[in-house]
C-alpha cells in the first residue's frame, strides 16, 4: 500500500517511509492511497473474534506489504495485552473503555503498536531514530512507556508547562533511560508547531533521523481504527443504527473512527465532542475553519486550537462540509457542564467518568435527545484516577487508583525547561 500527502506536492511513499518521516516533505500528512473494505463475511464472524484477532485481520490490510504476517501477529499480541471493555450503563447506552493499558489512556493502543513498528524498521536500517513528540497530556506518557528501552530509538517529549495534570507530568517525566522530557513555556499548539518546524528543517533532518509519534504520524491512527471495528463486532444490533461520541482535541481518534467506518464498520454517525476549543464544531456549523489559540480546560488533553488531523478529515470527505455533516455532528461544552455530567452520571449509574469521557457523554446525550432510535456509545479515553484532583472534588469520594498509576506518583520529575522558540529546540537537539 502507498501513502500520499494531504498537500499533494510530495511523491507517493511506502509504509516505512510514511511512518519514519511522520510528516511529508511538503508539510502535509500522509494518508493511505486507498482505504480497504472489510468483507461482509468478516463482520458475520467478527463477533466471535477476540480484540487481538480483529486487530490482526484489520491490520493486515495496511501492513502486510511491509511486515511478515507472523511478525505482525506478534506485534498485535504484544501490543494489545489488556482488556477493551464495553460497559452498559442503560438501555442503548454504552461506554467504550480505552484506558486499561499500562498508562491508563487510549494512547496506549497506538504507542505500544508503534514502538514495535519502529523497532522493526530500526532493526532493518541499523540507524538510531530520534522520536520527537508533542503532548497535551496522555500521548507523552503512553509514548514514554511504549518506547522505553526500545533498541535504536531515543524519545524526546515536548509538553506545555503547567498545562498537564500532576500525574500526567510524573508519567512523562519520570521514565529516564532513552526518554527525555522538554517542558515548553507555552501551549500544546506551541509544542506541536515546534515539532512540525523540526520536521521541515533540512539541516536538522540531515543530521538526525527524526520520526514522529504524534497523531500526525499515520502509524498512530491505523491501530486506533481497530477498536472501532471491535466495538461494532461486539454491539452488532442490526435493528438500531449506532452513534459514537468521541472526545476530540487533535482529532486523531475521530479520524481513526472515520477510517474504520469507510472500511465498512457499521457506525451510522459520530459526534465530535469538544470542550471550549471548538474550531471543528464551529466548522460543521458554518463551513468555515478558523484555528485560534487554545484555552485551558479541565479536559486538558483536548486543549487544541488548531487540530492537525482536520486536514485528514477534509481528505476523507473531499473538502465537502455537507458530506462531513452527514456523518459527523459537532458539540462543545464548558467546564461547568463537564463537572455536572461527572456528578450526574456518578449519582445515576455509580459510574466514574474522567473529564474527557464526560465531554463525550454530553455530546452523546445532546445527539440522542434530538435524534431517537440509536444505540449510543461514548468513548472513555482516560482512567478517572489520572484526574483524581478534579474528579474527587465533584463526586465527593476517593477515586480508586490502579497500582500502575500509584507507582508514577513516587517518581522524580526530570525535565528541561525551554522557551517556545524553534532555535532553542534546534540547539538542544543538535547537542
Q: What is the pLDDT along the chain (431 residues), one digit of tens a residue?
A: 899 999 999 999 999 999 888 889 998 999 999 999 998 889 889 989 999 999 999 999 999 888 999 999 999 999 999 999 999 999 999 999 999 999 899 989 998 998 888 888 877 767 788 989 898 777 888 888 888 888 778 899 999 999 888 888 988 898 888 999 999 999 988 998 999 899 889 999 889 988 888 778 898 899 999 999 999 999 987 789 999 999 999 999 999 999 999 999 999 999 999 999 999 999 999 999 999 998 999 998 899 999 999 999 999 999 999 999 999 999 999 999 999 999 999 999 999 999 999 999 999 999 999 999 999 999 999 999 989 999 999 999 999 999 988 888 888 899 999 999 999 999 999 98
Indicate the SS3 state at residue 166.
helix
Q: pLDDT at position 41, please?
A: 85
- Active-site annotation holder among 37, 64, 91, 107: 107
Whole-angstrom Cα distance, residue 176 to residue 172? Answer: 9
Give the up-direction half-sphere exposure of residue 238: CA atoms within 13 A in the CB hemisphere. Answer: 3
The pLDDT of residue 14 is: 93
Asked if residue 41 belongs to a domain, the reply is no
Quick one: pLDDT at residue 260?
97
Cα–Cα distances in angstroms (integers) from residue 311 to residues 28, 215, 307, 351, in the given order = 8, 12, 8, 35
Residue 140 · residue 163 · CB < 8 Å = no
Q: What angle do CA 394, 298, 377 make, to 5 degrees?
A: 80
Answer whether residue 106 is part of any domain: no
Q: DSSP readout, 313-382?
A: HHHHTTT-HHHHHHHEEEEE--HHHHHHHHHHHHHHH--PPPHHHHHHHHHHHHHHTTS-S-EEEEEE-B
Cα–Cα dist 184/171, whole Å: 16
- Is residue 234 within 8 Å of 97, Cβ to Cβ? no
| 107 assigned to active site | yes
CATH of the domain at 386: 3.40.50.1100
Q: Is 57 inside a domain boundary?
A: no
Confidence (pLDDT) at 343: 98
If we measure between CA atoms, which residue out of 81, 109, 100, 79 comes closest to residue 226? Answer: 109
Residue 167 belongs to some domain of the structure = no
Say if pTM beats, i.e. exceeds, 0.75. yes
In a domain, 8, yes or no: no
Give the total number of structural domains in the chain: 1
Tell me whether residue 188 is in a domain. Answer: no
Sign for the CA dihedral angle at 182, 185, 187, 191 comes to: negative
- 374 lies in some domain: yes
- Distances in Å between the Cα of 297 and the Cα atoms of 9, 163, 278, 323 are 37, 9, 12, 30
Structural domain that includes position 346: 84-101+219-402
Determine, yes or no, domain membership for 227: yes
CA 299, CA 337: separation in Å to the nearest integer? 12
Amino acid at each position: 500500500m502507498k501513502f500520499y500527502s494531504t498537500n499533494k506536492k510530495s511523491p507517493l511513499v511506502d509504509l516505512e517511509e510514511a511512518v519514519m518521516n511522520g510528516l511529508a516533505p511538503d508539510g502535509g500528512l500522509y494518508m493511505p492511497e486507498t482505504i480497504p473494505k472489510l468483507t461482509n463475511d468478516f463482520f458475520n464472524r467478527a463477533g466471535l473474534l477476540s480484540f487481538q484477532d480483529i486487530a490482526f485481520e484489520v491490520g493486515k490490510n495496511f501492513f502486510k506489504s511491509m511486515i511478515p504476517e507472523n511478525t505482525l501477529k506478534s506485534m498485535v499480541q504484544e501490543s494489545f495485552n489488556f482488556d477493551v471493555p464495553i460497559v452498559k450503563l442503560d438501555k442503548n447506552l454504552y461506554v467504550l473503555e480505552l484506558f486499561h493499558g499500562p498508562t491508563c489512556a487510549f494512547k496506549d493502543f497506538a504507542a505500544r503498536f508503534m514502538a514495535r513498528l519502529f523497532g522493526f524498521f530500526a532493526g532493518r536500517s541499523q540507524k538510531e531514530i530520534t522520536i520527537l513528540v508533542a503532548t497535551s497530556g496522555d500521548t507523552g506518557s503512553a509514548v514514554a512507556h511504549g518506547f522505553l528501552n526500545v533498541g535504536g530509538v531515543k524519545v524526546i517529549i515536548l509538553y506545555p508547562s503547567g498545562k498537564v495534570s500532576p500525574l500526567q507530568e510524573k508519567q512523562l517525566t519520570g521514565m529516564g533511560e532513552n526518554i527525555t522530557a522538554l517542558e515548553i513555556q507555552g501551549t500544546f499548539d506551541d509544542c506541536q508547531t515546534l515539532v512540525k518546524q523540526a520536521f521541515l528543517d533540512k539541516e536538522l533532518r540531515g543530521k538526525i533521523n527524526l520520526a514522529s509519534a504524534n497523531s500526525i504520524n499515520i502509524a498512530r491512527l491505523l491501530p486506533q481504527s481497530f477498536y472501532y471495528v471491535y466495538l461494532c463486532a461486539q454491539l452488532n444490533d442490526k435493528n438500531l443504527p449506532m452513534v459514537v461520541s468521541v472526545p476530540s482535541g487533535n482529532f486523531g481518534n475521530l479520524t481513526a473512527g472515520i477510517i474504520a467506518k469507510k472500511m465498512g464498520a457499521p457506525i451510522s454517525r459520530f459526534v465530535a465532542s469538544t470542550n471550549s476549543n471548538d474550531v471543528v464544531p464551529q466548522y460543521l456549523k458554518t463551513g468555515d475553519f478558523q484555528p485560534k489559540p487554545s484555552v485551558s480546560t479541565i479536559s486538558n488533553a483536548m486543549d487544541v486550537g488548531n487540530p492537525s488531523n482536520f486536514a485528514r478529515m477534509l481528505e476523507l470527505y473531499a473538502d465537502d462540509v455537507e458530506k462531513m455533516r452527514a456523518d459527523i455532528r459537532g458539540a462543545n461544552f464548558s467546564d461547568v457542564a463537564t463537572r455536572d455530567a461527572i456528578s450526574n452520571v456518578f449519582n445515576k449509574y455509580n459510574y466514574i467518568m474522567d473529564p474527557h469521557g464526560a465531554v463525550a457523554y454530553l455530546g452523546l446525550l445532546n445527539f440522542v435527545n434530538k435524534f431517537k432510535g440509536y444505540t449510543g456509545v461514548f468513548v472513555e479515553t482516560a482512567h478517572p484516577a489520572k484526574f483524581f484532583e478534579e474528579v474527587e472534588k465533584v463526586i465527593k469520594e476517593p477515586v480508586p487508583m490502579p497500582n500502575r498509576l500509584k507507582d508514577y506518583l513516587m517518581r522524580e520529575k526530570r525535565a528541561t525547561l525551554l522557551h517556545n522558540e524553534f532555535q532553542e529546540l534546534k540547539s538542544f537537539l543538535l547537542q
